Every structure is written in structure tokens, then in C-alpha cells.
Amino acid sequence: MKYPVAMRVLHWLMAAIIIGMVGVGWTMVSMDDKVPAKFDLLYPWHKSFGMLVLILVTIRLVTRLRSSIPPEPEQLAAWEKALAKAAHVTLYVLMIVVPCMGYSMSSTYTESDGVFFFGVNLPELLPKNDSWFKVFQALHRILAYTLLALIVLHVAGALKHRFFDRNRAADVLPRML
């Protein structure tokens, strides 16, 4: 049994966006502040796609709650099922919290031009406060790295079941293809 088409499309779309966001994030923070593209191009696009991730994960959660999803293969060990459940819950939490920390950074930083969503200025709900900005910045960075590590674990788990498990019925990848 496969996941519903909407969930599969959202899964792969969000995977591509999040991996792209990590790459853009690394690029923009390593650039010199004098490079115009850093603030004119990369930051606004990073913010826009961050807000898009927040919207898509909300749609994904609603879709997941309203859909029939395939059960974990019976061939998986109990610890594998428990780890997969914990990893999925944590992935969803991080896909919500990381963009919220990015939004909070942009909203509180005194020199920020605001939070953009593809050219539209979103309301800044938090007061400007550089001390809070530093807290949100640290949380955004740490949680983004945590999300990336969890994605690597998620992919490694899927590949383990695909290529290393002796029982082919434990292969979870076809459910999401």
C-alpha cells in the first residue's frame, strides 16, 4: 500500500525545498555583507521558502490526518517502528519550529527589512529586540542542523530497508514513490 498521491507529492516537494534552504542558508551566512546578492536575493528567497515550508507542512498535516496511510511493515522490529515514529513526529515538529524561529529572527532584528513571502511583506508580530534576535538566531541554526541530521537519519533508514534488510517486505521506500 502506498501513501496517497498528495502526501507523496508534498513529501518530495518539501524534501527538495528544505535541502535547498539548507544550501542557501550556508551560502548566505558565509558571504561577505558587502555582496549585494546576500541581502537583495538570498535572504528574501530564503525567508519566502521558509514561510512556504510552514504552509506546506500545515497542509501536509491536515492531509495526513484526513488520509489513510499505510501501516509500518510487519517485518520491522519493534525498535525500528518506535524509532521511525519518533523520527517522523520530530521531523514534523522541526518543520514547524525552524521556520517559526526564522520568522522570529527577521521580526525581532532591528536592521531587518521584515519577513517576505515572495514579495509580500508579512506582518511582524514581535517587537524589534536584538537580544531576542540572538536567541532566535541560535535556535534557528541549532534546530536547522538538527532537522538536517534527522533527514540524513530518515534517508539512511529508508536505504537500509531498501538495500540491506534480508526481508524485501521491510522495504518502505515504494510506499513513498
pLDDT tens per residue, range 15-71: 999 999 999 999 999 999 999 999 999 999 999 999 999 999 999 999 999 999 999
Specify the pLDDT at position 2. 92
CATH code assigned at 148? 1.20.950
**What predicted TM-score, i.e. pTM, was given to this entire model?**
0.93
Asked if 104 and 128 count as a contact pair (C-beta separation under 8 A), the reply is: no
Q: Which three cell numbers stand for residue 140?
A: 534557528
CA–CA dist 24, 34 (Å, integer)? 17
Mean per-residue pLDDT, 107-118: 91
Range of the domain at 126: 5-176
Mean per-residue pLDDT, 87-98: 97
The helix, strand and coil proportions of the chain, stated in percent and rounded to the nearest 5, come to: 75, 5, 25
pLDDT at 151 over 90: yes
- Name the helix (H) or strand (E) containing 35: none
Specify the pLDDT at position 167. 83
pLDDT at 1 over 90: no
Q: Say how many domains are in the chain.
A: 1
Q: Where are the beta strands (DSSP E) in the chain?
A: 115-117, 120-122
Q: Give Cβ neighbours of residue 154 (< 8 Å, ≥ 6 apart).
A: 87, 91
